[in-house]
Structure 1
Amino acid sequence: MEENMSLGFRKSMAAMFGLVLVLALALSACGDEEKPTIIFSDLNWDSAQTQTAIAELIVSEGYGYPTEKIFGGTIPLMQALVNGDTNVTMEIWLPNQLAAYNEASEAGQITRVGNSLEDNWQSAFIIPQYTADANPGLQKVADIRDHMDLFVTPISNGKAQLLNCVPGWECEGHNIDQVKAHGLDDVIEIINPGSGEALAAEILAAFEKKEDVLFYYWGPTTLTHRIQTELGGLKVLEEPPYSEECWNTTKLCGYSISEVVIVVRNELLESAPDLVEMFEKWDFNAGNQLAAEAYMGESGADFPEVAKWFILNTEEWKSWVTADAAKKVIEAASAE
């Protein structure tokens, strides 16, 4: 009798433990399923793709979220963020995207959660310093009219060629507006290089050959750092300073210093608060940016490989994440 009761008790306990185990596994699985898929806006220039790759590695390996990304330019990916097709953008440039950003923010669709790059400069009217030195009368944007012949090329229709911002980036339209605002439509032929890589390549080739070139660019970047330290420097032609009124009306002024920020869909504030906390601490400063881009240039590594290198060879990112997440990310970067 006692033996039968003991046997029955053991069977009951085994069944209970089995039930507890099944429930625990079920709850664990539910917990995993509750984490939303984080869809990054994979913007088509080096610093943005580098940051996206680093963030994706941290989010997936350190915090256990499934991730995806959608590749494209600023205009379509801003719309994707507003529509909810993506939910994290690592670089929103202000004031370039200020109108779209303000509209979506005021509508309660998106929220700025952290700083991305350090403040960046940009200009539609840059020339080599050696060109400025050889032509002391070329100091302002208006002076291009009297020095147009310096920048004429076989494809510029007898006008000064301006290498413009890339199609799909907000700055493309802004630069066209600035040329018109300065009354230089009859002097400047806007040439579109097709991609960020092509733009950088054309600029670098001109500097290496000591050719005169008029171009749009921004900094700090690996290219501008190399130009300043190895290729004689650059000169940003003078124009009236930025004001919000000018930018929103005539465009007869330069860019402001750009604020570059991380923006997320508002749903993530509740569904992924641990990621929001991480992005609030994010700081991809100029030192981090130039180190990562220099490694990519020297090694030929793709963006996921640059992300692993960054994790294993820098320390600052550890202050953005939890200790547990840091451990998991380092293990993942080391193993792959």
Structure 2
Amino acid sequence: MKIPRYAAPVSLSLLAASLLVGFSQTGAQSASSYCASGKPVKFAQVSWESGQFTTEVMRLILEKGYGCKTDVTTGATNITETAVASGDLHVFAEEWEGANEITNKGLKDGKMVLVGKTLQGGTVEGWFVPQYVVSGDAARGIKASAPDLKAVADLSKYKNLFLDDENPNMGRLLGCVSGWVCDKTNTAKLRAYKLDSMYAQYRPGSQAALDASVTSAVKQGKPILFYYWGPTALLGKYDFYQLKEPAVNAKCYELLKADDPAACPSATPSVTLRVNLNSDFAKSAPELKMFFGKLSMSLPMLSKYVGRITDEKIAPDAAAAEFMKANPGVWAKWVPSAVGKKITASLK
């Protein structure tokens, strides 16, 4: 199923100017001439909210700034990734680098190219507590219950703060849904950090149950130790502190993922989020490739708008429009000034 959305027609004068620019650049076709030709930029519909939001930001900028037509094709991730490799689609807006074998093969075969880093610093994953546990919250009358809790190594001093309701002799780590990769990783980390005799991982039945438990604790101002990751709505909604872990050790982390008894301490590696482009499209639209390569947001900013989509149920394109109106100083860095002026005029 395709969801088309088109911009206003490009004027003949703009088309002529675009063609002149294209010919002047040693025969290379500029992005504006690509769009002026009437060919749409075809996006894959990413199935998760952060990717949907990023997709809609890209579409708005292409349509309002570059005069492009765009459309989106829905489908399972492996199907749409395959379509990007074949050229049936052009853009997959949020590629978790190294995570998809179809993309890895497409890159090796020269059919795809990754550009940019859409999330500054990459993804986060680990163990968190509410910020008020560490530093208190004067506005809510909450005193810091663990002022010296900075790293996983400090958890041995705070078992009684995070007691497990079902096993009062143990502390509780609110962990992963059974069957998730992080389920094994958390169990192995407790052992590698020598915390397995003091803490047990509690496995919620679903992500919704995990979110509900964390939200309930925060609203009541209670201490809670939990596993989480970002970009996500929850990390954008509340103020959390991520406990420091030993530096990433690739060999140790592979053992942790397998819950190997020989696993050694390691933080979870951050994943770089990138834009996946069909190679032929990238060559035919160099100015668009340049834009895709510059798009980048902070984790708090991305999480904020993901929260608008998941918690407040606004559409991704509406969240994208909100972002563009509220943050001109961010997106203006991604595009030439002439393109930025067109976008600004369209947002009034």
- Cα distance in 2 for partners of 1:109, 1:176 equals 35
**Does structure 1 residue 187 correspond to structure 2 residue 223?**
no
**Does structure 1 residue 57 correspond to structure 2 residue 57?**
no
- Cα distance in 1 for partners of 2:35, 2:90 equals 20
Equivalent position SS for 1:116: coil
Alignment partner of 2:334 out of 296, 311, 320: 320
Q: Counterpart of 1:246?
A: 252
The offset of 1:114, in angstroms, is 0.9
Alignment partner of 1:256 out of 269, 275, 284: 269
The offset of 1:304, in angstroms, is 1.6
C-alpha spacing 1:78/1:242, structure 2 compared with 1 (3 Å) = farther
**Does structure 1 residue 35 correspond to structure 2 residue 39?**
yes
Equivalent position SS for 1:67: strand
C-alpha spacing 1:146/1:331, structure 2 compared with 1 (3 Å) = closer
- Cα distance in 2 for partners of 1:293, 1:66 equals 22
Q: Counterpart of 1:177?
A: 185
The offset of 1:188, in angstroms, is 1.7
Deviations 1:143-185 (A, max 9, x none): 579949935467xxx9946243799xxxx42453342454459
The offset of 1:137, in angstroms, is 8.9
- Cα distance in 2 for partners of 1:139, 1:313 equals 35
Q: Counterpart of 1:17?
A: none
- Cα distance in 1 for partners of 2:255, 2:109 equals 23
Kept in 2, the 8 Å contact 1:281–1:320? The answer is yes
Alignment partner of 2:119 out of 114, 117, 120: 117
Q: Provide the alpha-carbon RMSD of the alignment.
A: 4.5
Q: What residue identity is the alignment partner of 2:334?
A: W
Question: Based on CA coordinates, which of the two structures has the bigger radius of gyration?
Answer: 1
Q: Counterpart of 2:80?
A: 80
- Cα distance in 1 for partners of 2:184, 2:46 equals 25
Equivalent position SS for 1:261: strand
TM-score by length of 2: 0.62
Q: Counterpart of 1:272?
A: 285
Instruction: Give unmatched runs, 5+ long, in structure 1.
Output: 1-23, 25-29
Equivalent position SS for 1:187: strand
Deviations 1:118-156 (A, max 9, x none): 1145233223355576467995379579949935467xx
Kept in 2, the 8 Å contact 1:137–1:143? The answer is yes
Kept in 1, the 8 Å contact 2:127–2:227? The answer is yes
The offset of 1:117, in angstroms, is 1.4
**Does structure 1 residue 44 correspond to structure 2 residue 83?**
no
Instruction: Give unmatched runs, 5+ long, in structure 2.
Output: 1-15, 17-33, 135-143, 258-263
- Cα distance in 2 for partners of 1:31, 1:91 equals 22
C-alpha spacing 1:322/1:309, structure 2 compared with 1 (3 Å) = same
C-alpha spacing 1:118/1:137, structure 2 compared with 1 (3 Å) = closer
- Cα distance in 2 for partners of 1:138, 1:295 equals 30
- Give the % identical residues: 18
Q: Counterpart of 1:107?
A: 109
Deviations 1:208-230 (A, max 9, x none): 212343322245777546644xx
Kept in 1, the 8 Å contact 2:36–2:67? The answer is no
The offset of 1:244, in angstroms, is 2.3
Equivalent position SS for 1:240: coil
Kept in 1, the 8 Å contact 2:92–2:277? The answer is yes
Q: Counterpart of 1:216?
A: 227
Equivalent position SS for 1:42: coil
The offset of 1:322, in angstroms, is 4.2
Q: Counterpart of 1:140?
A: 152
Equivalent position SS for 2:185: helix
- Cα distance in 1 for partners of 2:280, 2:175 equals 39
C-alpha spacing 1:138/1:65, structure 2 compared with 1 (3 Å) = closer
C-alpha spacing 1:312/1:203, structure 2 compared with 1 (3 Å) = same
Deviations 1:311-331 (A, max 9, x none): 333323234234554454445
The offset of 1:257, in angstroms, is 4.0
C-alpha spacing 1:266/1:208, structure 2 compared with 1 (3 Å) = same
C-alpha spacing 1:293/1:143, structure 2 compared with 1 (3 Å) = closer
Kept in 1, the 8 Å contact 2:175–2:186? The answer is no
- Cα distance in 2 for partners of 1:55, 1:227 equals 27
